[in-house]
Structure 1
Amino acid sequence: MSDTADLVHRLLSVRTWRAFDVGADGHVLAGDDTSGTVQLVELAPDGSRRTLTALEGACSGRYLKGVEPRTVLVSHDTDGNERAQLSTLRPDEVAEPLTVDGLTPLVRDPAAIHSLAEVLDGARVVYATNRRNGVDFDLVLRDLTTDAETVLYDGGGMVGGAAVSPDGSRALMTRPGGPAMSSQVLLLAGATTTEVTPADEPALHTGLQWLPDGSAALVTTDHDRDHTGIARLDPDTGTIEYLVTDDAHDVSGRLSPDGRLLLVVTDDDGASRLAVHDAATGEHRLDVVTPDVGVGDFLTLPRWSADSGGLALTWTSPTIPADVVLVDAATGRSGTAASSSGDLEGLELVTPTSVGIPTPDGETVPCFVYSPATPSGSSVLIIHGGPEGQAVRSFSPITQALVARGHTVLVPNVRGSVGYGKRWYSLDDVERRLDSVADLAAIHAFLPRLGLDPARSALWGGSYGGYMVLAGAAFQPDLWAAGVDIVGMSSLVTFLENTSPYRRAHREREYGSLERDREFLERASPLNRISDVRAPLFVIHGANDPRVPLSEAEQVAAAVRGNGVEVELVVYGDEGHGLAKRANRLDAYPRAIDFVTRVLG
């Protein structure tokens, strides 16, 4: 194995961690991907570790509250099909890591999705499921002591976050609103459902958390603002009163169990700044010292300890793959409970600079630039998924491997990205889709100012980023030398026609309706301009993808190949929307990196 190939293998094999929960006794429930997929590991207060699961696919978990003996709720699917099933295990009884047959079923129906929404005191959990008709999601409260279930909501559509009041009499939930990237808050009380916020308001409402006395809830929202702030929401009147805001940045919050403290996370150009505030007044108390300039993986959320003394969170940066970090809320100091840094010993990793790239229509595209020590003049643009996603200052083995091969890597937040305010994330909605694609051309025009050869630039992206790769190759064929498309959409029409039914209506809010916007969707589809594609393509897809069907990859590969252009299609039968298993990443990504390096010279 060559030195470069060995480096790529090391980067792709690096161990990463996730922080899932903190137990009442101080145990931390973590995720560790040493096996190749994320499995549950318990970190004890004395520093010892116990691996709990050995499932075929990735899983996550939470501690049940008020349950003896100690019990973990496990969320798992099969081969990336995203049909989450819920099971339990007792960590103190695990002698060897458990396979799926060793788990105790809680909510199982392999044809449906069961997404955990909240874990409540008194051995109760709330989950969303589409088992009723495969399309609409219901919100269900289950009492684990009696196995009794109560349907809290069955009003149709998708369910976002949910929060049950401390006395169990009421619940708040979010569902998608009318405009793209908006959400509506509903109050559920018995058989009554009340709209707390308007369905047609162009505002995002997330992170619902009841105050301990049940008088109000906290919400992260951009109601009447460009950037999100943390506000107190009166569920009876819909009144929103902001506690913490920042006119230049999005902020979000996580309330401590006793209701006194608030972890405030500020999104500062793809980096997370953490601070502890007074939850009643919003007043700043202290800053949290993080291990590096990076970002918390807030998909798994920071989890407060039961005594509100601290938090566990996942932390990553360009030089930290993903660690479990514990924060002392009284001092702001943090310590690493599980680290991946040892896997990187001896490697020289690159941190990015941030540049603003001007566009012809007067906008500025935020972009991270990763430069090798000896640039070759070639470049690779990596476009994030979403589209309502964000490129952040996190560890990326792909980015570091491409830099190690001499490529300068640019990671932009094109219009439509979150993290830069409501105006920016709304600039690609429906008929503005191609304005986002035009940002790629603006970045290409900027390459000479970075000392890069515009004739030796490639596109790389997954999901919506894969669509952007194909759109760049189809609509800007003179600009790009190669493209790597990972689970991307080649036609917005066939994507919407063939995606999972529960996702179609949700995604039409962003891309446009098949009924009303079909002509534009055809025009914005790379497949309809496939004869213009001249750049060689490398296409990766999972056979079980429930979001972007495999047919999206098959049809673009066949069309490009039929035009005499080089294309390689790699399909993994045990993957879904992306590559979750390390063995498949080790197979696909080195080949894709070699492909880009060969084409760019």
Structure 2
Amino acid sequence: MDATDASTLLHRLLDATTWRSFDVDAEGRILAGHDASGSVQLVELHPDGTRVPLTALPGAVSGRYLPGRRQVVVSHDVGGNERAQLSLLDPDAVAKEGEPVGEDGLTPLVHDPDHLHGLVEVLPGGTVVYATNRRNGVDFDLVVRDVDAGTETVLYDGGGMVGNAAIAPDRTRALMTRPARPALSSQVLLLAGDTVTELTDADEHARHLAPEWLPDGTAAVITTDVGRDHLGVARLDVATGAVTYLITDDAHDVTGRLSPDGRLLLAVTDDDGASRLAVHDVDGTFLRAIALPPELRGGVADFLAVPRWSPDSTGLALTWTDPATPADVLLVDAGRGRAGVVASSREPLSDLDLVDPTSHGVPTPDGETVPCFVYAPAQPSGSSVTIVHGGPEGQSVRSFSAIVQALVGDGHTVLVPNVRGSVGYGKRWYSLDDVERRLDSVADLAALHAYLPRLGLDPARAALWGGSYGGYMVLAGLAFQPELWAAGVDIVGISSLVTFLENTSAYRRAHREREYGSLERDREFLERASPLGRIGEVRAPLFVIHGANDPRVPLSEAEQVAAAVRANGVEVEMVVYDDEGHGLAKRVNRLDAYPRAVAFLGRTLAP
């Protein structure tokens, strides 16, 4: 493929629009997100096929229906700064006007532009539950707001970050998750008036996710890996804290969502980055698998847009993506065990021969095996690009990626690994990069490089690509393994673990120190594990992308590494977007940055 064809392909892939599901109401309307405008905006999908655009805001938005009334709670920020504000919208009024609304068409609900207000839950009767750091900018409080009265009740102000929360059916108690002391672990709190009870141990190395009350209020359904290596769906007794597993798989993570009537569970099994969906009875008994439409490939139910049961518990709306599907909205009929596409993203790309990955286990010198997806072109050129996910507690899955498919179309073989520290492969695996094990994760990059000849690839023409923590891995690979890598693309990456922790948003620092190490106790190691400390070793050309409003990894991380690499006489190209935060949310910016980065790799990896 020549350069013109490669550029055309990438623009087509980046122009592909995506859908995502946010909620479903009692009339079967789905509150969806669509990015046809260039960023995700709200669209209402009606059962008769009508689509009503609701918002036209400058940045990406999400939302939920207020149960029992025709109102939507809209979550929105400014320029990717992640300081979410909450507003109300009347979808019927928008439909009557015939045009989506901007910010002036929203009714402010919870606004304070200096702080973050994360939407946690919506309840019947016009009640909104949210988490906010407005008290001191660091700690998050859990707040219940009566939309009509404008009154608020603080349920929790005990410090730290708020994870998930669920209000009991009688509204007198709540369950909340917050980070526990071990990295990536979380604990469950029972909130009852002024009393906070720790239902699980803060020192326990386990995740406790997404509690949902059973209708009788005696217990909750929760996803957890307490006492196990893999996540399963369990019953949590709120009187004793006892956990009884309902759905497990000794080889795979299983997550669950409880139906509103408390009778059914959607179980999602993570099978090497692909989702298997099934409906179970609330006692865990398997009822039926969910059959997907035949046009969909092996892919994933996107839990970034949480699957939502319909209020009558007959089905669910969820988001699906696979290597040939940018993102569709599916509606699941729980009784029949079938899913149908409500909003499709596939048609504009239907003539393209998009590549599915093969799954590989890459051996490491210390006896571990790194799961890795390999996307191979029909006529490989011998060059390769290894793409590392963010997190570090993230997971690369079998989803659509314009970058992966464009690189394959340009002749590169693309490796997409789940290096140690990734979730989806058990507690032992996601714990293997904590604090002083950080460089073991970096060493996995060398193992991947050593595997290239087994794929028929040229080790001298290998590049790294990654965003956020993946950007740290790119920089670490270039700095700690300079003889291995021919180029790197760093997107919103960490160049120094020390300056990152010093300069990241205050509310994130304590949370991230659990994973990376403490500035107070682990500074020496953090300096030793920072690419910036070995920047004089970097020989490979570097391409850097960053958002000026990034609250997670400050722009200074990109500026300092670019300056240091340039000072050593190594090529650096850097692009910064003033209207972006942690990543590129706007298509216009992706269309500018990514073709330049792909062309950079085409040049630096040429024979």
The TM-score normalised by the length of structure 2 is 0.98
Give the C-alpha shift of residue 213 in structure 1: 1.5
Question: 2:73 is matched with which residue?
Answer: 73
Residue 346 of structure 1 and its aligned partner are, at CA, apart by 1.4
The CA deviation at 1:55 is 0.3
3-state secondary structure, aligned to 1:356: strand
Q: Deviations over 1:268-312 (max 9, x none)?
A: 000000000001x20100000123210011111111011111100
Structure 1 match to 2:216: 213
Please tell me whether residue 577 in structure 1 is matched to residue 582 in structure 2: yes
2:420 alignment partner in structure 1: 415
Q: Over residues 193-243 of structure 1, what are the superposed CA-to-partner deviations in whole Å (9 max), with x where a residue is unaligned?
A: 111101000000001100011111011000000001111001121100000
Give the 5 Å matches for 1:266-305: 266-279=269-282, 281-290=283-292, 291-305=296-310
Residue in structure 2 matching 1:172, options 166, 171, 175: 175
Which of 535, 541, 552 is the equivalent residue of 1:547? 552
Instruction: Tell me, in whole angstroms, the C-alpha distance in 1 between the residues paired with 2:124 and 2:226.
Output: 31
CA contact (8 A) 2:176 2:188 kept: yes
The Cα shift of 1:523 comes to 0.2
Tell me what 1:232 maps to. Answer: 235
Equivalent of 1:22 in 21, 24, 49: 24
How much has 1:143 moved relative to structure 2? Answer: 1.0
Q: Secondary structure at the match of 1:97?
A: coil
Which residue of 520, 524, 528 maps to 1:515?
A: 520
Q: Secondary structure at the match of 2:176?
A: strand
SS state at 2:485 partner? coil
What is the count of residue pairs matched by the alignment?
Answer: 598
SS in 1 for 2:298: coil
Q: What SS is found at the alignment partner of 2:153?
A: strand
Kindly indicate whether residue 389 of structure 2 is the aligned counterpart of residue 389 of structure 1: no
Deviations 1:317-359 (A, max 9, x none): 0011100001100111111000011110311100000000000
What is the Cα deviation at residue 3 of structure 1? 2.1
The equivalent position to 2:184 in structure 1, one of 181, 186, 194, is 181
CA contact (8 A) 2:218 2:239 kept: no
* Runs of 4 or more above 2 Å deviation: none
Q: Secondary structure at the match of 1:208?
A: strand
Q: Distance in 2 between matches of 1:485 and 1:289?
A: 39
1:310 aligns with 2:310: no
Tell me how far 1:125 sits from its aligned partner.
Answer: 1.1
2:76 maps to a residue whose letter is H
Structure 2 counterparts to residues 154-553 of structure 1, below 5 A: 154-279=157-282, 281-290=283-292, 291-553=296-558
- Distance in 2, Cα, partners of 1:289 & 1:507: 39
Q: Distance in 2 between matches of 1:327 and 1:80?
A: 32
* Residue pairs, 1:59-70, within 5 angstroms: 59-67=61-69, 70=70
- What is the distance in 2 between the residues matched to 1:164 and 1:189? 10
Residue-by-residue CA offset, 1:159-182 (whole Å, 9 max, x unaligned)? 000000011000000110000010
Secondary structure of 2:399's counterpart equals coil
CA distance in 2: counterparts of 1:147 and 1:227, whole angstroms: 43
For residues 493 and 325 of structure 2, the distance between their equivalents in structure 1, rounded to whole angstroms, comes to 28
- C-alpha distance in 2 between matches for 1:551 and 1:3: 36
C-alpha deviation, 1:446, in angstroms: 0.5
- AA partner of residue 393 (structure 2): E
What CA distance in whole angstroms lies between the structure 2 residues aligned with 1:13 and 1:353?
Answer: 26
| Partner residue in 1 for 2:145 | 142
**Residue 120 (structure 1) shift:** 1.1
TM-aligned CA deviation for residue 419 of structure 1: 0.2
**1:35 alignment counterpart:** 37
- Contact between 2:140 and 2:161, CA under 8 Å: does it hold in 1? yes
Question: In terms of mean alpha carbon deviation, does 3-12 or 31-40 score higher?
Answer: 3-12
Instruction: Report the alpha carbon displacement of residue 2 of structure 1 after superposing the two structures with TM.
Output: 2.2
Task: Specify the SS of the correspondent of 1:2.
Answer: helix
91, 107, 111: which one pairs with 1:104?
Answer: 107
Q: Distance in 1 between matches of 2:426 and 2:350?
A: 38
Measured after TM superposition, the shift of residue 43 of structure 1 is 0.4
- 1:128 paired with 2:131, answer yes
Measure, in 2, the Cα distance between the counterparts of 1:66 and 1:351. Answer: 43
Q: Percent identity?
A: 75
Q: Deviations over 1:478-497 (max 9, x none)?
A: 00000000000000000000
Is the 2:297–2:323 Cα contact (8 Å) retained in structure 1? Answer: no
